[in-house]
Amino acid sequence: MSDAIYGGIEGGASKSCAVLYNAQGEELALVRGPHTNHWLLGMDGCHERIHNLIVAALKEANLPPDTTLKTLGLSLSGCEGEETCEEMKAGMAAKYPHMSDHYVVWSDTVAPVIVAHEEGGVVLISGTGTNALLINPDGSQSRCGGWGFLLGDEGGAFW
């Protein structure tokens, strides 16, 4: 049996949630924390919050704080573009090189569709802001919103 540990963070503009699983799919820890939106924190602040969430999850799971995850998936509000996701991934790897062997980063709209629907689907987030994403069976995507409260997103909780 593998002793690999996998992590995930669902990070919104109001709050975040981190989870750890072992290779058998058993949940080891679930912790909640503050938002992880890089538009509100800056990239460095976001990296630090992600690190702190993982350290808290490792503590909850009774694992050493220097445990290296096999993969850490980050589903974050504000990570809409490929360039932003790559910047987030590179920053995490540079600042915390032993936290995870691999990083996967995408918008907080992507994970709900992928988890719930193998053939694509649609998600509408109405939280602090609003965001909608359609993923077609062929992988093509259409989105609406996700601009943040500074540029609109009327219908979100900020308004």
Residue 15, domain extent: 5-108
Whether 42 contacts 73, CB under 8 Å: no
Note whether 16 and 66 are same-domain residues. yes
Q: Does any domain span residue 40?
A: yes
**pTM of the model as a whole:** 0.84
Which are the contacts of 115, defined by CB distance < 8 A and separation ≥ 6? none
Whether 132 contacts 144, CB under 8 Å: yes
Which CATH number does the domain housing residue 17 bear? Answer: 3.30.420.40
Note whether 95 and 30 are same-domain residues. yes
Note whether 147 and 103 are same-domain residues. no
Note whether 122 and 84 are same-domain residues. no
Note whether 124 and 56 are same-domain residues. no
Note whether 99 and 135 are same-domain residues. no
Which are the contacts of 148, defined by CB distance < 8 A and separation ≥ 6? 13, 39, 78, 129
Note whether 95 and 124 are same-domain residues. no
Q: How many structural domains are present in the chain?
A: 2
Which are the contacts of 123, defined by CB distance < 8 A and separation ≥ 6? 109, 112, 113, 132, 133
Q: What was the pLDDT predicted at 96? A: 97
Note whether 71 and 145 are same-domain residues. no
Note whether 124 and 98 are same-domain residues. no
Note whether 49 and 67 are same-domain residues. yes
Nearest-angstrom CA–CA distance, 92 and 113: 25
Q: How far is CA 120 from CA 69, 80, 103, in A?
A: 28, 18, 22
Taking every pair of Cα atoms in the chain, the longest distance, rounded to a whole number of angstroms, is 50
Q: Does any domain span residue 84?
A: yes
Q: Does any domain span residue 113?
A: no
DSSP 23-88: TT--EEEEEEEE---HHHH-HHHHHHHHHHHHHHHHHHTT--TTPPEEEEEEEETT--SHHHHHHH
Q: Is the dihedral of CA 12, 136, 89, 61 positive or negative?
A: positive
Note whether 125 and 103 are same-domain residues. no
Q: What was the pLDDT predicted at 1? A: 44
Q: Does any domain span residue 54?
A: yes
Sequential pLDDT tens for the chain (159 residues): 469 999 999 998 889 999 999 999 999 999 999 999 888 889 999 999 999 999 999 999 999 999 999 999 999 988 888 899 999 999 999 999 999 999 999 988 888 888 788 888 888 877 667 778 888 999 888 877 666 556 555 655 555
Note whether 94 and 129 are same-domain residues. no
